[in-house]
Amino acid sequence: MSKGILDHSSEDAQASMSVVGRTVIIIGLLLGAVNFALEYGLDALPLSERWARQAGLAFFLFFVWLAVSSGVRAVDKLMPGIAVGWLFITGLGIGLWGQAVFSLARWAAPQFRGEATASLLSFIVPGLLPSLAASLLVAVLTAITLRVKSKLAATALRLLLFGLLALFIYLKM
């Protein structure tokens, strides 16, 4: 019988889901709150629109990297030997939940000021794919770091991953 990507060798799947779920909720909530505070903090600074967008993207990527890698490492420490699939689910969940919290806060802020806003979906959908892509990339890189014992093999996998990304960007897929 083959071992599946979500099979957990030391404890049952319910414990894995519980640890992953709590980690995703807590770290995703923090990620969404930090991104929301960052957006309003950058709006308060006297920056041109171009610099504000670039700084916002840089901070977004940094905080996604920090949150997802911390979450994946926490799950790996709390559940030693957990299947790699759960680490990927943790990374994607943190990105998804963080984007949902951020979008909900952006949608609700004008509501509290009494201004009319568009639907909640119009706030969630535009940032969902970039957030999921960045969180999946960080989850894969962190899983490689945690699970591949050979430094040479880990470096080769990272180079292969970035090479494929460069190829996809070049081909505009």
For 109, the enclosing helix (H) or strand (E) is helix 84-112
Domain locations in the chain as residue ranges:
13-144
Kindly indicate the confidence band of residue 1, based on its pLDDT and cuts at 50, 70 and 90: very low
Note the pLDDT of residue 173: 60
Q: Quick check: 2 pLDDT over 70?
A: no
d(CA 91, CA 135): 6
Output the average pLDDT for the chain. Answer: 85
Mean pLDDT, rounded, for 106-132: 79
The more confident residue out of 33 and 172 is 33
**pLDDT digit string, tens, across residues 50-88:** 888 888 889 999 999 999 999 999 999 988 888 888 899
d(CA 54, CA 82): 37
**pLDDT digit string, tens, across residues 35-55:** 999 888 887 788 888 888 888
The full length of the chain comes to: 173
Q: Please tell me what DSSP assigns to residue 120.
A: T
